[in-house]
Structure 1
Amino acid sequence: MRRSGLARVTSAATHLQVFAIAGISAVLLIRTYLASTGYPRLGGGDLHVAHVLWGGLLMATGLVVTLTFLGQGARMGAALLGGAGFGTFADEVGKFVTTSNDYFYRPAAGIIYVTFAALVMLAQWLKARTAYTGTERTANAMNTALAGTISGLTAEQRRNAIRLVQDSGDPLDAATVRLLGMVPPKEAVGRVRLWVSGAVAWLERLIRHPAMVVVAVAYLVVRAPLPLVGLVLENSYDRPTLMGEPERGAVIGLATSAAVTVVLCLVGAAMLGFSRHDRLTAFQILNLAILADILFGQVFAFIVNQFSAVPGLLADLLVLLVISARIRQLRYQEPENRPG
């Protein structure tokens, strides 16, 4: 078996998502705090301690944690610290892309959004790539056993690790299975883990409810043309900003993305209304519409509307969860509905 120098961690997608969520939360908390306190300066005279320095300190702390401690707890803690630090650092991007060190540089919101959107997309891509090599399977199973010696293993953790290496025919994998069987069980599941598991289960039930599907489709059809309506009525954006640079380009980009989203929404909704036999394709088109808005439209929305675009993004993400769940359900049912 060929051994490579690098091996992917099966939990990489989860840790990247935590990193991104911590970073996004840091940006929003900092912006909210600074706006509510009148943007105070930390320091006096010519001294100003920018919070980008605190971001660097948090990222360094996260790195030190991963270099010092073993186990999944240390890796998760590093993801939280590193993500919060990266968000604190990224919040001041406007100062580093302008000659005037302008924290309020309007495209900075779009730059921050693109950065974290890329992180989330990377996490989703890693989650979809499940074809691990034999070396990676062995290494991850051993890593689970290592973590178990620190805090014990739940039945699910032990089962998933054994599934990675069982019946491979490799003596090392057989020894790993025996090692996993010797690791003591986790005595109790923490309250936080129970709360998170319960919240996730509740969210999954919610997004699979038929009423949520109706609400999601209605939201898409109504919300998609709003940027175009706002431009026509000149009520959604301030006129001097609309005519200025670089926001004029952002507004044009927002309008173009909105037009594409509207067309896709209308096609998908029409297929749902008039065709009962190709609902999977209809929902896939609606899924493409919401992805177009999230990946392109929201970039320009953050430049034009700044961080007031956050509620719209959260609504888009919820709709994406609902439609994606419906697509998975239809794909699961599809073989049963085929004749013969």
Structure 2
Amino acid sequence: MPPPTKIAAAQQVRQLLHLDLVRSEKATVHLTTFVVSAVSTILITRAFLALTGYPQIGGDTGLHIAHVLPGGLLMLAGLVTGFAFIGRGPRPVAALLGGVGFGLFIDEVGKFVTADNDYFFEPAPAIMYVVFVTLVVAAQAGRRRRPLSDQEKVANAAHVLVDGLAGRLPDRRRQEVLRTLDAISTVKGAQQLRDLLADVEPRVSPLPQRFELLWHRVTAALARVASSRFAVTVVATLLVLQALGATAVVVSLWRANESYVLVTAGTLTGTAVCLICTTVGLWRWRTGAGRAAVEWLQRSALTSLLVTQVFHFAASQFTAVAGLGVDLLLLGVTSSILRTRFAPP
């Protein structure tokens, strides 16, 4: 057994590394928003540039305003949003703005790593892939390795209370937090927070009625799809068809032009991982592990978005953008299934 001095030193090192920061229970959700919006921005930007013949902002004036600049401004806007406002509301907005800005920024990575500022640098998709996958894998591994403590759950409930006191807390979110506090009622401060949350006024929607109605229609449509007994089967089928379709497109282009070796390898890797995740999801579904099954299908859709479509785009912008739309739809459906049919773990 190590001596007490070494144990104390190890504890001090851990505290220093953690910086005594309280983790957010929605960190994975916000990171997913960031990554999905960033990858979507890359694919949409490159499709737009291909359609318009790669124009340069600035024309014949001798100036070239690269889209890394508005990307930096959007990342700045995301940071300022997080600094300037309190409560739960700013974080999804900051994640979205930061994701779009980071997508515009990293889309030009080829210019930063080549002597001739080559925007079409072939390994660029691989660089983007490594960045995004590292973000997602690190976040998932960190949360699974060290779940939130009861004290951190109470702290998150206190953070939600900020919106409640301002009259901006949806009742659905309030009920979710109340259930969490009921489960940890013996923790210091949990009961007092529960009493305060139970007394807050319901949210008054800040959105105009038309936008609120549109949002409710979208969420209701996803909920209807998620409630179908065929939803999981349809999601799995679409994932398999999309993976095989992307592979067929890229392999056919590689046969016509052997310079697509890296693109083909990346697409095949993404397809293989998608098929493995989908197979595991279907197997878990058949064994009765419903939530775990849907989570595996969600991983398959994320892999398709983060790996398959990124490499696929280097070969065919337009089919990759179509794949982007399907991936976003599947992510929405799987998230709705988890939200409406399975209680949080």
TM-score, structure 1 normalization: 0.70
Residue 204 of structure 1 corresponds to: 223
Q: For structure 1, which runs of at least 5 residues remain unmatched after alignment? A: 272-276, 333-340
SS of structure 2 residue aligned to 1:39: coil
Deviates more, 1:154-163 or 1:117-126: 117-126
1:24 and 1:4, CA in 2 relative to 1: closer, same or farther beyond 3 A? Answer: closer
SS of structure 2 residue aligned to 1:168: coil
Give the counterpart of 1:23 among 38, 42, 47: 38
Residue 54 of structure 2 corresponds to: 39
1:27 and 1:181, CA in 2 relative to 1: closer, same or farther beyond 3 A? Answer: same
1:68 and 1:319, CA in 2 relative to 1: closer, same or farther beyond 3 A? Answer: closer
Q: Measure how far apart 1:82 and its partner are.
A: 1.3
Q: Does residue 177 in structure 1 map to residue 188 in structure 2?
A: no
Q: Does residue 309 in structure 1 map to residue 325 in structure 2?
A: no
Given that 1:228 and 1:258 are in contact with CA atoms closer than 8 Å, whether structure 2 keeps it comes out as: yes
Residue 3 of structure 2 corresponds to: none
1:8 and 1:310, CA in 2 relative to 1: closer, same or farther beyond 3 A? Answer: same
Give the counterpart of 1:154 among 157, 160, 170: 170
Q: Hey, what's the Cα distance between the residues in 2 that align with 1:94 and 1:258?
A: 24
Residue 71 of structure 1 corresponds to: 87
Aligned length: 319
State the Cα deviation string for residues 221-245 of structure 1 (Å, max 9, x = none): 66655577668xx7444633x1x3x
Residue 159 of structure 2 corresponds to: 143
State the Cα deviation string for residues 52-106 of structure 1 (Å, max 9, x = none): 1221121112112211221222223222221221111111111112221111223
Q: What amino acid is the match of 2:37? A: A
Given that 2:168 and 2:204 are in contact with CA atoms closer than 8 Å, whether structure 1 keeps it comes out as: yes
Q: Hey, what's the Cα distance between the residues in 2 that align with 1:301 and 1:221?
A: 15
Q: Measure how far apart 1:128 and its partner are.
A: 6.9
1:236 and 1:144, CA in 2 relative to 1: closer, same or farther beyond 3 A? Answer: same
Given that 1:34 and 1:40 are in contact with CA atoms closer than 8 Å, whether structure 2 keeps it comes out as: yes
Q: CA RMSD in A?
A: 4.6
Given that 2:150 and 2:187 are in contact with CA atoms closer than 8 Å, whether structure 1 keeps it comes out as: no
SS of structure 1 residue aligned to 2:316: helix
Q: Hey, what's the Cα distance between the residues in 2 that align with 1:268 and 1:63?
A: 37
Q: Hey, what's the Cα distance between the residues in 1 that align with 2:247 and 2:35?
A: 31
Q: Hey, what's the Cα distance between the residues in 2 that align with 1:145 and 1:111?
A: 41
Residue 337 of structure 1 corresponds to: none
Residue 100 of structure 1 corresponds to: 116
Given that 2:125 and 2:311 are in contact with CA atoms closer than 8 Å, whether structure 1 keeps it comes out as: no
Q: What amino acid is the match of 1:311? A: A
1:121 and 1:308, CA in 2 relative to 1: closer, same or farther beyond 3 A? Answer: farther
Q: Hey, what's the Cα distance between the residues in 1 that align with 2:222 and 2:69?
A: 37
Computing the radius of gyration from Cα coordinates, the structure with the larger value is 1
1:254 and 1:116, CA in 2 relative to 1: closer, same or farther beyond 3 A? Answer: closer
